[in-house]
Amino acid sequence: AALLHDIGKLGISNLILDKPGPLSDAERAEMMRHPFYTYKILERVACFRALAHDAAAHHERLDGHGYHRGLNAAQLSITARILAVADICEALSAERPYRAALPYDDVLKIMRRDVGAGICPVAFDALEDLLLRSTRKVQHELQTYSYAA
């Protein structure tokens, strides 16, 4: 599901996907259709059919205010919750045509504000733990393997 969640963007114009500035209301509405397109594509392929629901749920929120279906916590699998958290992290930490990539500290601060209402606390805690452990490991390796010039 993670590798295919954005396949629906194939149905979105590159003029929207690559736009360097804010989207218009109409462009935003079209962009918000990509999870629906993801579902429609994956449900047609037998080996991906079981992934379609979770892959298309990556913009849903626990409070039901997400898109494209407005699903709430009771309707979201743990897979969909993890995918949503990973997608938000990737979106914030990747460079975009309209802004620079954010460092993980900023990403976690932004995401933490939405934990419980929109973001699954368990999935967020796992992401935070992973990022913090990775950061500590890299820092340790840099200190261990740094050479004096």
| Active-site residue list | 9
121-144 and 104-112 are packed helices; what angle lies between their axes, rounded to 10 degrees? 160
Helices (H), the chain: 14-17, 25-31, 34-43, 49-55, 78-93, 104-112, 121-144
Residue 40 burial (C-beta neighbours within 10 Å; 0-12, 13-18, 19+): middle
- Distances from the Cα of 97 to the Cα of 25, 85, 101, angstroms: 18, 22, 10
